[in-house]
Structure 1
Amino acid sequence: MERLNAEGLNTLLTRTAPQIAAFFDSIDRMLDRIEKLSKKGRPPLNGERYLTDRELSERLKISRRALQDYRSEGKIPYYQIGTKVLYKESDIEKMLKDNYRKVFK
């Protein structure tokens, strides 16, 4: 941390000053982290968590189109309310567990 001398006390710090810009950048990063945590930590509905297309595709590292194909082929369980599609987290975990293939030599 820089020490302010008598001359530094008379200097006007603006948002473009390096110290202030760094401060606001750290606040922005902190707010982003808080937002991500709040999304992950949302309360379950009747003890169950539900994922959107976007959330599930990000977790599985597949496209949303691939999820649509899996739904159409009956490979993945889902709920549809109007145009909104939701996936029960426990159903997805079970599906992944059931489809696990061990390596054989």
Structure 2
Amino acid sequence: MTEEIITRDSSAFKELRRNILRAIQAVDILIDTHRPAIGNEIYLTSEEMCSIFGISKRSLQNYRDNRQIPYTSIGGKILYPLSAIYKLLESRYVRALR
């Protein structure tokens, strides 16, 4: 029985390394795009809210202060329930005239 020695220069090592790097990239993408649910609810951060709606952090704070948007605060971090944001948008939807 002959055993092959794998070195850093061998093709088997290079292929293994490529596969590991691809797996790491796939995990990084999953980490960036995955939103864990808390009690079957998905929450957005303030940064995401500002980015999605194209508003400043100050405007977002004004909406919170005036109780115009739902939010929750956990350990000093403010989170916005996605389903409640959808309901708010739907309730204020105005059809365009044609």
Gaps of at least 5 residues in structure 1 are 1-26
TM-score by length of 1: 0.60
Q: What is the RMSD computed on CA atoms of the aligned residues?
A: 2.3
Runs of 4+ in 1 over 6 A off after TM superposition: none
TM-score by length of 2: 0.64
Partner of 1:63: 56
Gaps of at least 5 residues in structure 2 are 1-20
Instruction: Give the match's secondary structure for 1:86.
Output: strand
Q: Which one of the candidate residues 21, 26, 41 is aligned to 1:48?
A: 41
Q: Does 1:89 align with 2:75?
A: no
Q: How far apart are the structure 1 equivalents of 2:96 and 2:38? A: 37
Q: How far apart are the structure 1 equivalents of 2:67 and 2:86? A: 16
Residue identity (%):
37
Q: How far apart are the structure 2 equivalents of 1:65 and 1:73? A: 12
Q: How far apart are the structure 2 equivalents of 1:58 and 1:80? A: 19
What's the CA shift for 1:54?
Answer: 0.5
Instruction: Give the match's secondary structure for 1:51.
Output: strand
Q: How many residues align?
A: 76
Instruction: Give the match's secondary structure for 1:59.
Output: helix
Deviations 1:16-65 (A, max 9, x none): xxxxxxxxxxx9xxx5x964653332221221111110011111121111
Read off the aligned partner of 1:43 and give its amino acid letter: P
Instruction: Give the match's secondary structure for 1:38.
Output: helix
Partner of 1:19: none
